């Protein structure tokens, strides 16, 4: 079987170092908020070229806590509107509603699946206070345009970089474009821990300071609470794993690009539309997502050929039970995309032969 992604294979390549890291943490007797966290935060901040990185429990918390911190700082308040792509993973929208802000769902660019900067203006109201672009599937959104628009209209920008570790435009990486950025290190992400983990990156000292408290019960000094905070910390053992894995991230991205380029060169079936790449370095290929009007048939056919595929995502946020208030909205492009997308196997350890097999099976697919 050709697996969608073998995490076992990915982590196996550095198993010795991961086990050493685990042993180091076990032997240290210190398991939360210690040197491993500080050391990873420093390295990841350098990697993203930002002043601050703050580890948190997961990617959703990274987004929720950043918005929360802006509320504490008086930059956002209940009811403020946040422009967000309609076709994102639900976490991006949850981060907004969890804070009693209003998500304004914007249709994506058809070619890149990312937030369409040309549509921002028509959604702008007096209550619009922020933009939450998502670098979907690993490709950076059009940040030069989005940031320009934000600057003109005095909006905060919170990047959802959960799928795009290391993607860049003009050498400027995901996590360094917005006023702040949320990362997920969920095991299946391009930089994945061996459990849940996440981080916020920012150049804003004040924001970093508030976040430092919020993630730890609202406290910076033990038993002195400045905010009504939460417990959202990144464990030492996960930080130690992430430090190991960060060393290999760029190499793994290069290998993902190789798989993607092999797909792009080989896929010739006119029933299957391949993803659009703006620039090589802008895409880190978290997912390789094709579009077809024959999705169910293609997925079944591939499954019968021993090829595992997934759908990212089958139901858009505005059609979820959880968001009944948005169910009647009409977002035709978002809805069409959700009916047609199919994610092919991709990962740093996928072999050329396996990619070739997927290509040849898809090329002989008939509707
Ligand atoms: C994975 C993901 C998240 C959430 O990350 P978790 O660590 O699972 O909480 C948020 N946004 C996007 C786009 C994601 O892909």
Instruction: Give the pLDDT band of residue 57 (cuts 50, 70, 90).
Output: very high
- pLDDT, average across residues 44-48: 98
C-alpha 283 to ligand 1 mean position (Å): 17
113 lines ligand 1 (CB under 6 A): no
Pocket mutation for ligand 1, best pick of 136, 186, 194 (most atoms within 8 Å of C-beta): 186
Q: Is the CB of 139 under 6 A from ligand 1?
A: no
- Ligand 1 center–CA 183 separation, angstroms: 8
The confidence band for 349, taking pLDDT boundaries of 50, 70 and 90, is: very high
**Ligand 1 atom at shortest distance from the alpha carbon of 134:** 13
Catalytically active residues, by annotation? 189
* Section 122-143 average pLDDT: 98
Mean pLDDT in residue range 198-205 = 98
Q: Find the mean pLDDT for residues 49-65.
A: 98
Average pLDDT, integer, range 53-67: 98
Q: Where residue 196 falls among pLDDT bands split at 50, 70, 90?
A: very high
Q: Taking residues 49-57, what's their average pLDDT?
A: 98
What's residue 302's pLDDT? Answer: 98
Residue 278: per-residue pLDDT: 96
Q: How far is the CA of 362 from the centre of ligand 1 (A)?
A: 29
Buried b (16+ CB within 10 A) or exposed e, 143-164: beebbebbeeeebbbbbbbbbb
Provide the percentage of residues in the chain whose pLDDT is more than 70.
Answer: 100
pLDDT band, residue 181 (cuts 50/70/90): very high
Q: Is the CB of 163 under 6 A from ligand 1?
A: yes
User: Residue 89: CB within 6 Å of ligand 1?
Assistant: yes
- For ligand 1, say whether the CB of 184 is within 6 Å of any of its atoms: yes
- Model pTM? 0.98
* pLDDT at site 18: 98
pLDDT of residue 321: 97
Please tell me the distance between residue 263's alpha carbon and the centre of ligand 1 in angstroms.
25
Condensed to tens digits (0 to 9), the pLDDT of residues 143-162 reads 999 999 999 999 999 999 99
How confident is the model over 41-55, as a mean pLDDT? 98
Token pair of 267, please?
A: 């896929």
Contacts of residue 324, defined as CB under 8 A and 6 or more positions apart, other chains included, come to none
How many angstroms separate the alpha carbon of residue 90 from the centre of ligand 1? 8
322 — pLDDT class (breaks 50, 70, 90) = very high
Mean pLDDT of the chain: 98
Nearest alpha carbon, ligand 1 atom 2:
162
CB of residue 197 inside a 6 A radius of ligand 1: no
């Amino acid at each position: 079987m050709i697996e969608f992604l073998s995490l076992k294979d990915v982590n196996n390549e550095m198993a010795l170092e991961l086990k050493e890291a685990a042993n180091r943490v076990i032997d240290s007797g210190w398991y939360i908020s210690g040197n491993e966290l500080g050391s990873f935060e420093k390295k990841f901040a350098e990697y993203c070229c930002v002043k601050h990185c703050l580890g948190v429990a997961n990617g959703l918390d990274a987004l929720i806590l950043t918005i929360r911190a802006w509320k504490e700082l008086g930059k956002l308040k209940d009811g403020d509107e946040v422009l967000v792509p309609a076709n994102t993973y639900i976490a991006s929208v949850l981060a907004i509603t969890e804070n009693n802000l209003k998500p304004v769902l914007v249709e994506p660019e058809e070619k890149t699946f990312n937030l369409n900067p040309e549509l921002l203006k028509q959604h702008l109201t007096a209550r619009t206070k922020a933009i939450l672009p998502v670098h979907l599937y690993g490709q950076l959104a059009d940040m030069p345009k989005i940031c320009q628009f934000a600057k003109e209209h005095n909006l905060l920008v919170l990047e959802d970089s959960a799928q795009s570790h290391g993607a860049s435009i003009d050498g400027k990486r995901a996590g360094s474009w917005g006023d702040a950025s949320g990362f997920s290190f969920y095991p299946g992400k391009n930089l994945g821990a061996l459990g849940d983990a996440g981080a916020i990156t920012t150049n804003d000292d004040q924001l970093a300071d508030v976040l430092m408290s919020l993630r730890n019960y609202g406290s910076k000094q033990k038993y002195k609470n400045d905010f009504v905070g939460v417990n959202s910390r990144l464990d030492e053992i996960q930080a130690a794993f992430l430090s190991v894995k960060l060393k290999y991230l760029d190499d793994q991205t290069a290998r993902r690009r190789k798989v993607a380029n092999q797909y792009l060169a080989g896929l010739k079936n006119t029933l299957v539309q391949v993803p659009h790449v703006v620039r090589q370095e802008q895409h880190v290929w978290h997912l390789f997502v094709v579009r077809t009007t024959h999705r169910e048939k293609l997925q079944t056919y591939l499954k019968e050929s021993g090829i595992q595929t997934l759908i990212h995502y089958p139901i858009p946020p505005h059609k979820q039970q959880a968001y009944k208030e948005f169910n009647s909205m009409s977002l035709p492009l978002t809805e069409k995309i959700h009916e047609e997308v199919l994610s092919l196997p991709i990962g740093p350890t996928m072999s050329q032969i396996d990619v070739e097999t997927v290509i040849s099976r898809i090329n002989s697919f008939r509707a």
